[in-house]
Structure 1
Amino acid sequence: MNGFNEEAKILAVIFDLDGTLLDTERATRGVLNEFLARYGKEVDKEKQEKRRLGMTQKETAAVTVQDYQLPITPDQFIKEITPLYRERWAEAKALPGANRLIKHLRKNGVPMALASNSLREYVDGKISHHEGWKESFSVILGSDQVKAGKPAPYLFEEAAKKLGVDAVNCLVIEDSLVGVKAANAAKMKVVAVPSRSETDCHGLANIVLHSLLEFQPELWGLPPFDDWVDKTLPIEPIRLNGLYVTGSLLETTENATLSLPDQVAGLYFGWSKFDPDRNFKILVSINFEFPSVTSKRIHVWFIDANSDHKSKQHMQIHLVGYIRAWDNKDLTSTESEKVEEYKSIARASLDLPSFPCFLQKSFARVTL
């Protein structure tokens, strides 16, 4: 599907929150297991995998109570589990590119709205931990403020109404199938940045991205970003532990890949640290295999040094720059000319003040 269309100029952007701007899924991982343990139950992965993102709180509660045969009502479930989630919201990080996009649109006077299937009070609680977010959105809506949440169009229609913009002039940014369906029902353009197995968004969204870092405002008639430094983009640092290197091979633990949000695929560069104090410039590709977005592949190339380690060594990664979106057709071999080209680009950028050097404080020892 196409992006910008002169007949329907984009005048406002409407965001989903969880999984689109905020990585609440990883921050709250384990909450359900902790709750179920109170009733002598354990999480059933098969039951959880059947769930779809975008369900309302009441829908989730009813399904969970039924699936696990809990001796409580859905309302009691909500009352008991909500405090556990609230404690974790403070730990939820902005997804890659989220702060950048919000600040860019605000700076250029583009009206923005938040439209979430969460209750309004939960939306306020989540964004309260992120400086400038509340002030950046002219409209903030929860599913309890309309007669039905997504996939019904009401949240997006109400957001457009409050923004004073026609639906055809709104762009929605979503991560879930129900959100994309809601945007379609509201007759709005939609960009999908899918979470987990939400690859059904393909064919329904105007554009599907792996990360908000791939978003190009100019495709929608919006002001382009002006923060690229030559061919690279400074980013909020992405830190990753639980990696090991033997020779030139990178090994990742399950927890290491689980610690990465789904919307982080791309080609990056930054620094690696070995024990005790060996720091190297690195080029890193992070790839997700569709249709299983949870299947992550991480590849590291050392820019200025060969990693010829005889024994397995723990490695920490600190990514500070972004080069491009991931393309499965590229970088299929460590001998590729493309790899050398990107190494050169990363090497030049890491010598610039725009890209911070390795910081000891950034690598508090955490083994995932």
Structure 2
Amino acid sequence: MGISAVIFDLDGTLLNTEQVTKDLLKEFLVGYGKVVDMEKENKRMGMIHHDAAIAIVKDYDLPITPQQYSQSIMPMYHQKWLKAKPLPGVNRLMKHLQNHGIPFALASNSVKKNVLVKVSSQKGWEEAFSVILGSDEVKSGKPSPDLFLEAASRMGVDASCCLVIEDSLVGIKAGKAAHMQVVAVPSIQTESDQYSIADYVIHSFLDFQPQLWGLPPFDDWVMKALPIDPIHFKGSYKNGFLEEVSDDDGASDIPGQAWGVYFGWVDCDSHERSKIVVSIRWDSNCGSFKRNIQACFINEYNEQICDQQIEVTLVGYIRGFQTQQNPLSDAQILDDDKSIAEVCLNSAAYSYNRCSPAKL
């Protein structure tokens, strides 16, 4: 039986809410002389807030009740949520489904009022979903299947015909418990090897292939590449690699789900605007996990830009990586990548001043 509807998670799947709020707990705990335990927090990914609040107060031995914790920290979350952006390829997929008349729902472990705060800040999203559900509208949140089964019921679609797209293990377990097909887009790259219970694992929505699920294929590639919502970040170049320069709050401007070969434009003080190809991946070295950005300037001597701070605007995507085979080899920037990027960057579809792809 083919897929006739799609059900999305929200936080970390469609929106980078987890990226913009990742240091909030750290800031909160400082006032109590406590330090964040990231191993525990990663395991709480996808948990409903009520349960997380109880666990946090207990784990950090806070001298407050879970209710007081929530009352103190939720206003901080509301401020950050307004800064959340769609993750790479999200608007593209939602628009594609909309254009082909395929219903899609939102099923989040957040309570409904918080879901609506996040959704309403994205133009056109609230109207695009056939159903929007929060965990307070069902008996049990994820990993219970209740949210997904209720979403399918409200769309009038059999559960076996639904495709779930999730970023957390909690959500993936819920989708499988609902007897639905599940695609995982891990938001915690260090744990991506634990997502094998999903039917399919991708690094970002740019890797998603609708035809694998009996859905209409994308037809929006332009000159062997894909125009994307621009990704802006600052960095410094040295010996063939870019080191991202974070803002004062330490937050990254590159989404965690950015994997693959991209291209775009570079601005720096001593040069005119340059063209660049980058290969972005995550590497595990000596027990640490960090982003690795290989870079190659087109028609420029790379050494001339060495050690300068540069501003990068990525506007196109060429390919992902077949990570199961040879990730290091696969992530190398090829002559073919450079040729595709150069041709594309001479066209209007990938110009520096082009508008972002249309919102929903």
Name 1:104's counterpart in structure 2.
96
What root-mean-square deviation, in Å, do the aligned CA atoms of Structure 1 and Structure 2 show? 2.6
CA contact (8 A) 1:20 1:95 kept: yes
Name 1:183's counterpart in structure 2.
175
1:57 aligned onto 2:52 = no
Name 1:304's counterpart in structure 2.
299
How much does 1:30 deviate?
A: 2.5
Structure 2 residue ranges without an equivalent (≥5): none
How much does 1:130 deviate?
A: 0.3
Tell me: CA distance 1:258–1:333, structure 2 relative to 1, closer, same or farther (3 Å).
Answer: same
Q: Which of 227, 245, 269 does residue 275 from structure 1 map onto?
A: 269
Return 174-183 or 260-269, whichever deviates more. Answer: 260-269
Residue type at the aligned position of 2:74: T
Tell me: CA distance 1:206–1:13, structure 2 relative to 1, closer, same or farther (3 Å).
Answer: same
Name 1:74's counterpart in structure 2.
66
Correspondence list, 1:226-305, <5 A: 226-241=219-234, 243-246=235-238, 248-253=240-245, 258-289=252-283, 294-305=289-300
CA contact (8 A) 1:279 1:358 kept: no
Correspondence list, 1:163-182, <5 A: 163-182=155-174
Name 1:353's counterpart in structure 2.
348
How much does 1:310 deviate?
A: 7.9
How much does 1:250 deviate?
A: 3.1
How much does 1:311 deviate?
A: 5.5
Tell me: CA distance 1:160–1:94, structure 2 relative to 1, closer, same or farther (3 Å).
Answer: same
1:26 aligned onto 2:36 = no
Correspondence list, 1:20-169, <5 A: 20-37=13-30, 39-46=31-38, 48-49=40-41, 51-169=43-161
Task: Supply the distance in 2 between the matched residues of 1:333 and 1:47 (Cα, whole angstroms).
Answer: 30
How much does 1:55 deviate?
A: 0.8
Structure 1 residue ranges without an equivalent (≥5): 1-7, 363-368
Tell me: CA distance 1:230–1:257, structure 2 relative to 1, closer, same or farther (3 Å).
Answer: farther
TM-score (norm 2): 0.90
Task: Supply the distance in 2 between the matched residues of 1:89 and 1:67 (Cα, whole angstroms).
Answer: 25
How much does 1:63 deviate?
A: 1.4
1:343 aligned onto 2:338 = yes
CA contact (8 A) 1:331 1:339 kept: no
1:212 aligned onto 2:198 = no
Residue type at the aligned position of 1:105: L
Task: Supply the distance in 1 between the matched residues of 2:301 and 2:96 (Cα, whole angstroms).
Answer: 39
Secondary structure of 2:267's aligned partner: strand
Residue type at the aligned position of 2:253: S
Secondary structure of 1:295's aligned partner: strand
Tell me: CA distance 1:9–1:200, structure 2 relative to 1, closer, same or farther (3 Å).
Answer: same
Task: Supply the distance in 1 between the matched residues of 2:265 and 2:120 (Cα, whole angstroms).
Answer: 31
User: Aligned residue pairs: how many?
Assistant: 350
Task: Supply the distance in 1 between the matched residues of 2:347 and 2:42 (Cα, whole angstroms).
Answer: 47
1:199 aligned onto 2:199 = no
Q: Deviations over 1:191-225 (max 9, x none)?
A: 00001144255321111000101101111111111
Tell me: CA distance 1:278–1:48, structure 2 relative to 1, closer, same or farther (3 Å).
Answer: farther
Task: Supply the distance in 2 between the matched residues of 1:147 and 1:293 (Cα, whole angstroms).
Answer: 40
Residue type at the aligned position of 2:152: A
How much does 1:186 deviate?
A: 0.3
Secondary structure of 1:148's aligned partner: coil
Q: Deviations over 1:92-120 (max 9, x none)?
A: 01000011111110111101100000001
Tell me: CA distance 1:72–1:180, structure 2 relative to 1, closer, same or farther (3 Å).
Answer: same
Q: Which of 3, 11, 14 does residue 7 from structure 2 map onto?
A: 14
Q: Deviations over 1:175-198 (max 9, x none)?
A: 011111111100000100001144
Task: Supply the distance in 2 between the matched residues of 1:293 and 1:112 (Cα, whole angstroms).
Answer: 37
CA contact (8 A) 1:176 1:201 kept: no
Tell me: CA distance 1:178–1:100, structure 2 relative to 1, closer, same or farther (3 Å).
Answer: same
Residue type at the aligned position of 1:230: M
Name 1:4's counterpart in structure 2.
none
Secondary structure of 1:280's aligned partner: strand
How much does 1:306 deviate?
A: 1.7
